[in-house]
Structures are given as structure tokens and as C-alpha cells.
A and B are shown apart, each in its own frame.
Chain A
């Protein structure tokens, strides 16, 4: 009973408290307090609205000049005033896709390890190490990428795929491998997205009810069968949500990608060819943009990026929310 009143929270219990307090003459302070915190809360929608309007207005001249060709054309020619962002959009999507392909199985494995398998003493330290990946600044990833990852991929991984696995003739591994490439960007994004995906996955796995596991074990399942057939399906949409959250991170990532992708506005099927992303296009050209139309075009790239991440994050949140509010037996 006492619990019921307490958990009814602000609506019931406190309204009465407030009335008593206002009788005691404390209302002015309360009113100021409410106005102040409401004002702070309103700053968030205001800020977001401001961002959307500012970027939308700034992007408009380029978008209206280029029309749909802004996202379909591959010609990004500053001198001619032609702005087609297709290579950057393509690069953003492909590098993020590579990142997910690499990071998802790994993150799933770590999350299963941490929630189901690891001995207690190992959980905290391993989880901490993986979480720390999220704390490393993007520019440090970029530095490491330039001087370690890119040469390593070029000298060891690419020859392995080409010569040992004989994949050199497939379009994915064709062409010269200078180093900075779509592949390097994908790998570095995978490392950066990994902690986000694994953290969410770990959380939803832990939230799976004990009874789900016990039932599978009671039916004679091995531990892995229990995990794969009883735990993962239960947490599926949450895991997908985590993956999409990682995608959101990867899409907007700027510095590390700019430093390893090679920054060439061309669409190439080869993973070894340099590419471009929307974020790195902005990072590279913004301070050197001279004409108003060029600036506006870069703002438009930002607007497209904004919209894409908005959609992706919205999807992720919806999926995670479905798990969180789903049936709890």
C-alpha cells in the first residue's frame, strides 16, 4: 500500500504535499524552481530545433540548385559549382556496413562471454577493457590507424586475401593497394563501434529472465544450445537495436575515418581503393570553402548526414524499447 502511493510518484502523492507546502507560504520558491528546471529542459528541444533550422537554411541554396542530383550525382567539382555527394554518401554507408559486418559477431561473442560464460572475477576487468575502447578519442584511433593499422593491412592482411586465398581477381580485392582505403576505414570503425554494440547486447542478455535459461537446460540443452535457442531469440530485437546504435556511431564518425580512408570522391567496388565519407568531406573542405555555394553544399552534406543518423537512431531506440517494455514473464 505504501509502495503504491510512493510509486504513483509525482501525480498523486506529491500534489498533496505541494498544496500543504503552498499553504505554508513556500510556493514562490517552488514556482521559481519549477520554472528554472523547465527552462533547462526546454533548452534541449530549442537547441535541436536551432540546429535543424540553421543547417536546413544554410543547406537550402545548394540543395535547390542541385535538386535530386545532389545525392545521385558523382560529380563534386568545386570550380564548376557542381555538387554531387553520391561518392561520400556511398562511402559513409559502405564503411559503416563493413564495420558492422566485422564488429557484430565479435560484439555478440564478447557479450555472451560476459553475461553467460566468464567466471565472475573475469567479467569486470574484461567489460572494463572493452568499454575503454569507447573512451579512446577518435583522433587517437586515426593516429594509430595511419601508422599501424593501414601499413599492417597493406603489408599483411591484403596479401593474405589476394595470394593465400586467391581473391585478387574478385572486384572486392582488385586494383592497387596503397594503404588508405575503404577497408581501413571499415576496420577502424568496427573497433570503434564494438564497445557500443557489446554494451547494449550485454545489457539485454542480462535482462533475459532466468526462467528462460532454466527451461532450456531442463529440456536437456547444452549450454550453447541454451544461449542460442533460448537466450538470443528472446533478446533479438534488443541486440539488433544495439547494432543499429553502433551503426549510428559509425555513420557520424569523422576524424579516424578522415585519417585512413584516403579522401577521394570516387565510387569503387574495390575495398582497397580510397573513398570518402560525408563527415570527412565536411572536415576536409569546410575551412577551405571559398564560395557561398560550396559552403552551402557542405552544409547540405551535413543535413543529409543529420537525417540519416536521425532515422538510424530512431530505429535503434524503437527496437531497444520494444525489448525493454516487452513481455516479462
Chain B
């Protein structure tokens, strides 16, 4: 009887520990969000979005150039990562078990596991060294390369969810395969692919390491693609490791903006997923 009681006590204790684990695992997020709001919100005036960075000692100042820079970098990355990722995903979904498909799938996972700093030095070697200057384009391409495996994987998964009967129906109606893929398969899988694309964008939006030696950062206003460009993560990094209190405040405000951008994209992704599950019910 006491053995049973001991087992039951152990049961309650261990199950209780999993509750503790759940609480502990959510705490860091709540702490981080709390500190961001506490330290960043006061600096976050409209000026922050419209002003350029100012030297130490001058009040005010913002990160308008870095915010715009980050948006430009995301756009370049998406212009590269989306077509390649979706194309490769289509290929993988159509040739599931082929030798090339297996290889590409494996290598896509390898690319996904590659440390982002390694992509950074690669992009430097290829796109900065030969031209002799840092550029927005090099940074965007490095981020785009990061996006490719993410988009490839979700595209393949989403296309696989499309019922085969749809594909067969389209082919039976005399649609050529390319039109079947484009206007039936891709269209059906679109919400899922949009989700995957948004998740990928959210992931690269805050990346810093690949930009250190490519986009490099810029204290001035620049939207030229072959010049160094400011980026929110780079600016946060530079300000965070600086010795000035005012710059620390700016870093917190910048981090808050960055997090809000990432969260909005993540929530949009979740919304798109829900739309998919809603329509897949029939």
C-alpha cells in the first residue's frame, strides 16, 4: 500500500515539475517583452521613426534610415528567396523520391543549419571583396540565401497537402502539367506558402550576423543598393555595445520596433495558417 502511495506521490511530483517547466519556459519571453516595453517605450516617439541618428549629447534622434534600410534588405531577400524557394519546393513536391530530389532536400536542410555568420563571410567573399565596397545588395542576397531553405521546405509540405484528386481532375480536363501546377496546385496551397514565406521573412528580419560584413550599416540616409545601408539590427548592436546611456535607450527603442515588426509578421503568418485550415475542412 505504501508503495502505491509512493508511486502516486512521485506521479504528482513529476507532473507538477512539468508545470514548473512550462512556467519557466515562458518566463524569459515575458521578461524580455516587459523590459523592452519598460526601457524602450519612453524613447519611442514619432521622432524616432522620422529622425536620423544624432551624435551623443544631442537629444532626440531616431532610426529612420535603419528602419527603411531593414525594409529594403527584406525586400531584396524576398525577391531572391521566394522564387528560388517556391520553385525548388515545387520540384521537390513533384519528384518526391527521385535521387536528385532527395539530394536537394538533404542539402536544403544543410543550408538551413548553416550558421548565419558563415553565410555572412561567404557573401563578403563573393559580393563585397571583388567590388571593394560593402553594399545593401550583398546584405540582401545573404539574407535571401537564408530564406531559401525555409521557403523550400514549407512550399513542399504545403503542396503535398493538396489532394491528389485536384491534380488528377485538372489533368483529366486536359490542362497541361505546368498549368495544373500554377493555377490549381499552387493556388490551393497558396495560403500555406504565404505562411511559410512570412515565417521566413520574420526569421531573417532580425538577423544581424550576415549583415555585419555585407550591408555594414550606415549613419547616413542611403537607399542606394550598391552602397552600405543602415539596418535596424546593426544599429541596435552598435548602440548596445556603446558606452553611452542615450544610445542604450535608442537601442531599446530600436529593439522594440524590431520585435513589433517581427511579431506582426509572425501573427500574420498564424492568421494565414488559420485561413488554410479553415478552407481545408471541406
Contact = CB atoms under 8 A, between A and B. Distances in A.
A139 B208 contact: yes
Interface residues of B, number: 100
Contacts of B28: 133, 191, 194
A41 B91 contact: yes
A254 B125 CA distance: 19
A32 B178 contact: yes
A310 B121 contact: no
A320 to B, nearest CB: 10
Interface stretch (A63-71, A159-167, A298-306): A298-306
A313 B114 CA distance: 9
Interface string B11-32: 1001101111110111011111
B26 A140 contact: no
A225 B3 CA distance: 14
B18 A113 contact: yes
Interface stretch (A47-55, A80-88, A235-243): A47-55
Interface in B223-244: 233, 236-237, 240-241
Interface in B87-115: 87-88, 90-92, 94-96, 100-101, 103-104, 106-111, 113-115
Contacts, number: 280
Contact of B145 (A27, A47, A133, A139): A47
A100 interface: no
A200 to B, nearest CB: 13
Contact of A136 (B116, B172, B181, B262): B262
Q: Is the interface of B mostly helix, strand, loop or mixed?
A: helix
Nearest to B145: A47
Given A30-B178, A40-B83, A139 B124 contact: no
B165 interface: yes
Given A48-B107, A130-B25, 10 more contacts: A37-B94, A40-B90, A44-B149, A51-B119, A133-B29, A136-B32, A143-B236, A224-B14, A228-B14, A309-B113
Task: Give the 7 A-B residue pairs with the shortest CB-CB distance, closest first.
Answer: A137-B206, A252-B115, A109-B21, A40-B87, A26-B176, A33-B178, A313-B113
Interface of A: 6-7, 9-10, 13-14, 17-18, 20-21, 24, 26-27, 29-30, 32-33, 36-45, 47-48, 50-51, 54-55, 58, 105-110, 112-114, 117-118, 126, 128-130, 132-133, 135-144, 146-148, 191, 194, 198, 222-225, 228, 248, 251-255, 259, 279, 282-283, 286-287, 298-299, 302, 305-306, 309-310, 312-314, 317
